[in-house]
Structure 1
Amino acid sequence: MTEPTTGKPVAEITDLHVHFPIRHGRRRLLARAVDGVDLTINEREIVALVGESGCGKTTMARTIMRLAEATSGSIAIGGVDITHLGGRKLRAMRRDFQMIFQDPFESLPANSTALDLVAEGLAIHRRDLDSEARRQAALAALAACGLPQSVAGRRMFELSGGQRQRVAIASAVAVEPRLLVADEPVSMLDVSLRAGILRLLLDMRERLGIATLFITHDLALAGVFADRVAVLYLGRIVEQGVGAEVIANPAHPYTRALVDVMPRPDGRRTARTLLAGEPPNPTTAISGCRFAARCPLFHALGSPERCTTEPPELRSVSTEHAVACHFWDTRVLTTTKENIA
């Protein structure tokens, strides 16, 4: 991996909230899927958003893409606030931010050809190209994504999962976006195919200078693939920093638990951090730290009142590392261990 870029911001997400109204009997409640996220993605930078299922990763991705509406906060792409853009203004901006979905079998129409899918985006966003120029640009995008010209006329149902995902990437990058949002782009693929897709995303960054928000539940993958890692828990970022630093020195108890269950190169399993209970209901308003009920550090310190009354804010651990925990640097036995090596 390259070192984190210091380029200009491509995406600036400020105090983003995404709440969904739900009914519980006769009561109307709010599910707080994203609940106050600040995140900046710079030019040529890959930022991994990591967390358990249900923590708000996909909701955040869909909101950035304007497939879901923000309740409050703002999203700026290239310095332009797109949070409430609509109609022609939003369509004019869409070339700048494109998305790769998790499942290439569901996200691509089965009867469309690879060439037609890539050319469709060009027809919408590159009005300056005639039909032959669009065709050549689409073929070039497919070739850049490792697909030979013989694949261009084949329909999606004729292609493998890895080939389909390469078509999806070609369709997204053909219009040369500034930001690529990749939602679990390799989780539906065989292990043998994942490395090729990841190398392709790195190549797109190097050749086109694309910034990427890479969403994954795999902290080990995020640590080696991304420049920066942001750990999301119940709709809020609890830790953020350079990928290698977050893996080597996790500061938040939740991140420590995720690191503890990462597979080791030698195949052995080490003592793991045990988290008690389940995440709280997202419709429940929490006045303090939303991780407190499951936090080994909270229990080891005798349940300090500050954790239940004051939400922790992100603060610097080092130059490239921040954590949202009141007692992250407390030198006590912070975890309950189970020897399973």
Structure 2
Amino acid sequence: MFHVEHFVKGRGAQSGAVPTRFGLATREVDGDWRDYVQMLDGPPVKLRTTVTEELPKSILTFNQSPDVPFDRSINAYRGCEHGCVYCFARPTHAYHDLSPGLDFETKLFAKPDAAMLLRKTLAKKGYSPKPIAMGTNTDPYQPIERNYRITRQILEVCLETRHPVTITTKSDRVLMDADLLTELAREKLVAVSISVTTLDPVLSAKLEPRCAAPAKRLVALGELVELGVPVHCSLSPIIPAITDEFIEATIARIGALGVQSANWIPLRLPHEVAPLFREWLGVHYPERASKVMGIVREMRGGRDNDPNFHSRFNPQGVWADLIRARFRVACRKAGIGKARFELDCSRFRAPEVGGQLRLL
């Protein structure tokens, strides 16, 4: 159990331990030594976000997962300053000897050559277009996008080449690219999904401390609808005994905005996310921590997490059935059906690379 002096304000994770599953060296700070250092130097300096630019050789990632609706994706950033404590992508930082906890949300990586690399990939002979998914690992509109504009550059390439793209975000910064999204939508080349976890700004500040407030996300949903951009709302993740109370109210709000597509995703706790989430519960909701984890395990076959294809997105048991029923009824009342956004892959045109036209 954490005590008050250990709170890390403004961040989702409360610790920065590097996982041991990769055999990395671990260190623990002795309490007496920590107190002695603080006596000499004062309290710890507030955590700052750092960004390292990296230059990968490729930018498009392909997958063969049978339970996701895309086979290729782009992640312009690694790590995410939004700091969502439940983020299933946190363990990816461990591959780089960094903590899935505080490092994931403070030590970020940007790929400024992403658009150029995408252009080269799309120009390859034999490339066959299918929708590119953005935001599958870390948010393409996290705060550093305001300066880097890597996501915008990628969208510009997609518009130029008539390549379809989908976006998943928790930020109203998506509206910075409203001009491009409107053009892409006119050509049936884009669909946007905005996640809304809760309507309570206080709870949101604890769960996802540097995300846009829920009210701002709702405004973004409404503006995209008015612009004619195909828009979807994901209630994700639904955390039993924490966020599930907002199901009906959230569905009613997005239905009133004209959103025609919605889904929900259950809480997932892979690898280091499980202890980080337990830690978060101990800090913010110690009185209901055992109840929350008890329901999670009941939906996951007695485990904190189910990593198996199909079932990882399809929890079982009474609690899961109840959430499904509530979601279904709420959507029916709000007039939300099962809208499908069919993107057009037929008009793709390979880009020019190096100033030379591609031979037909």
Please indicate the TM-score interval, normalised by the length of the shorter structure.
Answer: 0.3 to 0.5
TM-score (norm 2): 0.32
